[in-house]
Structure 1
Amino acid sequence: EEEEEEEEEEEEEEEGFLLASNMPGIPSLAEMEQVDMDNLVLRSDFSDNLIVASHLVIWDTEKIAQFGTLKSRIAELVAAVGPDLIGEICIDFRKRSS
């Protein structure tokens, strides 16, 4: 019974995964795995400097196919914006101050 619940949760999660959606215009998971996101520029509350994605400690340990990880979420955003713009974007993770 517990295994069935876990399988259902995994299926629900994957249904929400943009790279597995077959949505027109969105690259597939296989296509996004070929995109080099290592030099993607990020901003964070934890540094005044820009951060290169490959410098993140977890970057090399995560796979795009691991739904819910930072790398998979960034890949979804890049897929939605368009991988051809990867050199033109900076992802800002800073919290807005009210």
Structure 2
Amino acid sequence: MVAPPLEVVAVLKLCQRRAGANRGGEFVQEHNPEDVSEVIEPLEPYMTSEVADALNWPRRSAFNVLDDLADEGRIRKKKPEARRVIWIREQ
């Protein structure tokens, strides 16, 4: 197999860094889960879009962080509909 030209490799590495990858090509979490606690009041229901807008994050990033927090038991996840999720922080 022939290696790609160095210009192509440089462009690919630049794209990976812009997409959030470190120098090793691994993608790293830039959004701090602790920031979520600052915008979610205890016992109040929130939709993903509300949290994303409050933190100025993409919705997908907010969903991923919220889902991880739910998996850790730090917040509750309610799914009343197939495409709707409600997040609730315990006291």
TM-score, normalised with respect to structure 2? 0.34
TM-score, normalised with respect to structure 1? 0.32
